[in-house]
């Protein structure tokens, strides 16, 4: 598989998965866009104002626009409203959509990994 630009999408509550998949995909030769802010740095999940949340969502969609594909970090099958909106946006733009939890409408995240041994770097798929 050729190198791609991939945006990670999912709930910030799955921060360790964002870090792990960023590392896995980067070591597989891909360029990765991730979240701009994480709760562990900011103190909790509600650190932002409504206006800041809207801006973060807008910026993330620009990342999707500039990507070849998205990887949905749907840990335990969870997809929240923001992630669902990002998926719809990616679909509208005809982007490839991959996911870590199996779903019929997504391609498997393992297809993005250059060396399947790198999958051992990912945390368990539990919330």
Asked if the model's pLDDT at residue 59 lies above 90, the reply is yes
User: What is the Cα–Cα distance from 27 to 120, expressed in whole angstroms?
Assistant: 13
The CATH label, of 3.40.50, 3.40.1350, 3.30.70, 3.30.420, for the domain at 5-71+83-121 is 3.40.50
Which residue from 108, 88, 89 is spatially nearest to 98, judged by alpha carbons? 108
Separation CA 120–CA 20 (nearest Å): 10
Higher pLDDT, 2 or 118: 2
- Which uninterrupted H or E stretch holds 59? helix 50-65
Nearest to 45 by CA among 10, 11, 71: 11
- Give dist(CA 126, CA 84) in Å, integer: 19
**pLDDT confidence of residue 1:** 65
Residue 107 forms beta bridges with which residues? 98
- Percentage helix, strand, coil for the chain under 3-state DSSP, each rounded to 5: 50, 15, 40
Q: Percentage of residues in the chain with pLDDT exceeding 70?
A: 76
Tens digits of residue pLDDT in 67-84: 999 999 999 889 999 999
Most confident of 9-18, 61-70, 103-112: 61-70
pTM higher than the cut 0.85: no
């Amino acid at each position: 598989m050729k190198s791609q630009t991939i945006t990670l999408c999912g709930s910030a509550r799955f921060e360790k998965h964002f870090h792990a998949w960023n590392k896995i995909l980067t070591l597989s030769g891909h360029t990765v866009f991730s979240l701009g802010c994480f709760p562990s740095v900011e103190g909790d999940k509600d650190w932002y104002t409504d206006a800041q949340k809207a801006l973060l969502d807008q910026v993330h969609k620009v990342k999707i626009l500039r990507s070849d594909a998205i990887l949905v970090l749907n840990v335990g099958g969870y997809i929240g409203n923001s992630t669902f909106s990002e998926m719809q946006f990616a679909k509208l733009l005809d982007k490839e959509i991959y996911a870590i939890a199996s779903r019929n409408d997504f391609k498997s995240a393992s297809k993005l990994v250059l060396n399947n041994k790198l999958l051992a770097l990912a945390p368990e798929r539990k919330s």
